[in-house]
């Protein structure tokens, strides 16, 4: 039975929905406090609609949601809702819809892995029902559930590579088999299956050569002689789009080369070329008058604004701090201001950062602001950082970035027992590990 704790700050379902969207461990306590019936519709929504903030970085929410389902005391109800949702069809370009579909499939597979006959049947039925439309998206979960037997079942329905859009679905099958069996065992089994399923042969050859191909490509890039600034400048002037290798070139450039580049920055007016020149200062200090970069940071050209900001981040000067405080007066620029303060700190900044966090902001702004606050804490560790980090722990929409917040609090010995208990139920496994280790250290 879930231990209850005070959740007086969670008075509305909107708050519970927000906790689920963040994958926050506090949702576990809220479910116990409010009761399954009150939370039911919100939890169903989270199961059927993928709410991950950053799909490229954050891990699947499925284990987290499945744990909440099991602890709800009404798992059969949620299973019924999830299985009923499987036939829903999403348009090819609906990325969020497909993310939701894969989450539903993962949840179905977890039920099946517990021996749930209905869930297992639903998974296989869904696969077969979509074959006429060349949709094999369920195949990965079948392989994750049943290993090589599942692989054989799926492959028996793939008569040629064209059905799978140039190996896209087959690649997923391989990945799931490797995850389940381990890479060595998976490939030993696939070598045998390739004798019976010729469609595997080209994929196996491509997968075997992929790592070697990456290695050769890296070696080829490393073998290219370093360009002089004159050659690089010519590439920038001739380019109509992107120019490769700018940040790497700038990182290794001599002071004399960077001075020439800075002169070209101040003489340039074309936004595209200006952005390319500024990218050379992503990791190096701009050696001339940096004040013109203030206007470019406010540019409506987002890529130019980002390049100007990144160049300014390397500079320590009172005018940079003054500019940051000016930016902070604009709601859409507070996150940028935080980053500029990292190399331009002053006493009282932690109270200021907490104040900025308390102001209304979008998830994107909070996410970017949080990244800056973590960098500030790393550069200027102090006990007073804990209050801003504790607030950020509540607000951060990204579970991966919340991990960084929890890690900093643990290293500062400022992780409260209440927060540690929440972290034990967080969606992100690394946060759970930090909470376990921190508890062991305190005992």
DSSP labels, 323-381: HHHHHTTSGGGHHHHHHHHTTS--TTHHHHHHHHHTS---HHHHHHHHHHHHHHHHHS-
Task: Tell whether 87 and 124 lie within a shared domain.
Answer: yes
Task: Tell whether 246 and 141 lie within a shared domain.
Answer: no
CB 423 within 8 A of CB 434: yes
- pLDDT number for residue 9: 44
- pLDDT number for residue 7: 47
374 in any annotated domain: yes
Domain end marker among 289, 314, 339: 314
Closest Cα to residue 27, out of 16, 38, 36, 37?
Answer: 16
Task: Tell whether 255 and 171 lie within a shared domain.
Answer: no
Phi/psi of residue 242, each to 5°? -95, 160
- pLDDT number for residue 131: 86
Domain end marker among 314, 348, 366: 314
Task: Tell whether 129 and 193 lie within a shared domain.
Answer: yes
Task: Tell whether 255 and 179 lie within a shared domain.
Answer: no
Q: Write the DSSP assignment of 105-163 as a string of letters.
A: HHHHHHHHHTT-HHHHHHHHHHHHHHGGGT--TTHHHHHHHHHHHHHHHHHTT--SGGG
How many structural domains compose the chain? 3
pTM of the prediction? 0.87
Closest Cα to residue 16, out of 40, 35, 42?
Answer: 42
Distance (Å, whole) CA 114 – CA 283:
51
Q: Distance between alpha carbon 394 and the CA centroid of its chain, in Å?
A: 18
Tokens (6 digits) for 389? 């980090």
Task: Tell whether 354 and 299 lie within a shared domain.
Answer: no
Task: Tell whether 278 and 177 lie within a shared domain.
Answer: no
- pLDDT number for residue 2: 47
Distance (Å, whole) CA 258 – CA 239:
20
| Structure-token match 């979008």, residue found | 362
Contacts of 426 by beta carbon, 8 Å cutoff, 6+ apart: 23, 24, 25, 64, 399, 402, 432, 435
Domain end marker among 275, 293, 314: 314
| SS3 state at 89 | coil
Sign of CA pseudo-dihedral 201, 203, 209, 211 = negative
Tokens (6 digits) for 65? 């949601």
4 in any annotated domain: no
Which structural domain range is residue 415 located in?
A: 316-443
Closest Cα to residue 85, out of 69, 73, 97?
Answer: 97
Distance (Å, whole) CA 245 – CA 256:
19
145 in any annotated domain: yes
- pLDDT number for residue 270: 94
What is the chain's pLDDT, residue by residue, as a tens digit (443 residues)? 444 444 444 456 899 999 999 999 999 999 999 999 999 999 999 999 999 999 888 999 999 999 999 999 999 999 999 999 999 988 888 888 999 999 999 999 999 999 999 999 999 999 999 988 888 889 999 999 999 999 889 888 876 545 444 456 677 888 899 999 988 888 888 878 877 777 677 766 666 666 666 677 777 766 667 889 999 999 999 987 888 889 999 999 999 999 999 999 999 999 999 999 999 999 999 999 999 999 999 999 999 999 999 999 999 999 999 999 999 998 789 999 999 999 999 999 999 999 999 999 999 999 999 999 999 999 999 999 999 999 999 999 999 999 999 999 999 999 999 999 999 999 999 999 999 999 998 77
Contacts of 77 by beta carbon, 8 Å cutoff, 6+ apart: 40
- pLDDT number for residue 226: 81
- pLDDT number for residue 152: 87
Task: Tell whether 32 and 180 lie within a shared domain.
Answer: yes
1 in any annotated domain: no
Task: Tell whether 65 and 85 lie within a shared domain.
Answer: yes
Task: Tell whether 200 and 261 lie within a shared domain.
Answer: no
């Amino acid at each position: 039975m879930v231990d209850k704790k005070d959740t007086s700050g969670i008075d509305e379902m909107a708050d519970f929905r927000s906790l689920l969207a963040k994958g926050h461990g506090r949702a576990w306590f809220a479910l116990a406090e409010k009761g399954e019936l009150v939370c039911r519709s919100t939890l169903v929504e989270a199961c059927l609609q993928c709410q991950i903030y950053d799909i490229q970085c954050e891990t699947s929410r499925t284990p987290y949601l499945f744990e909440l389902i099991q602890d709800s005391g009404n798992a059969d109800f949620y299973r019924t809702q999830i299985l009923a949702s499987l036939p829903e069809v999403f348009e090819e370009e609906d990325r969020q819809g497909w993310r939701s579909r894969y989450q539903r499939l993962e949840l179905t597979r977890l039920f099946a892995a517990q021996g749930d006959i209905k869930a297992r049947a639903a998974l296989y039925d869904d696969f077969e029902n979509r074959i006429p439309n060349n949709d094999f998206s369920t195949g990965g979960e079948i392989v994750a559930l049943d290993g090589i037997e599942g692989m054989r079942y799926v492959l028996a329905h793939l008569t040629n590579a064209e059905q799978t859009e140039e190996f896209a679905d087959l690649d997923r099958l391989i990945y799931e088999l490797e995850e389940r069996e381990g890479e060595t065992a998976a490939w030993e089994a696939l070598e045998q299956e390739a004798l019976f399923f010729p469609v595997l042969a080209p994929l196996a050859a491509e997968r075997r050569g992929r790592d070697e191909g990456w290695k050769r490509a890296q070696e080829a890039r490393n073998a290219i002689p370093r360009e002089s600034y004159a050659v690089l400048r010519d590439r920038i002037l001739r380019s109509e789009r992107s120019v490769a290798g700018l940040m790497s070139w700038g990182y290794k450039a001599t002071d004399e080369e960077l001075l020439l580049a800075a002169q070209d920055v101040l003489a340039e007016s074309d936004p595209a070329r200006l952005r390319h020149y500024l990218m050379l200062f992503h990791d190096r200090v701009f050696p001339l008058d940096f004040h013109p970069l203030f206007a470019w940071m406010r540019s409506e050209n987002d890529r130019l604004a980002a390049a100007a900001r990144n160049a300014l981040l390397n500079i320590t000067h009172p005018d940079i701090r003054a500019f940051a405080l000016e930016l902070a007066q604009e709601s859409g620029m507070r996150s940028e201001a935080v980053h500029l303060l990292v190399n331009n700190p002053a006493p009282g900044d932690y109270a200021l950062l907490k104040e900025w966090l308390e102001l209304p902001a979008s998830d994107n702004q909070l996410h970017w602001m949080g990244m800056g606050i973590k960098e500030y804490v790393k550069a200027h560790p102090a006990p007073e950082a804990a209050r801003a980090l504790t607030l950020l722990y509540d607000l951060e929409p990204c579970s991966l970035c919340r991990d960084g917040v929890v890690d900093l609090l643990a290293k500062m010995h400022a992780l409260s027992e209440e927060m540690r208990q929440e972290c034990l139920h967080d969606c992100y496994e690394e946060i759970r590990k930090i909470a376990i280790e921190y508890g062991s250290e305190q005992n």
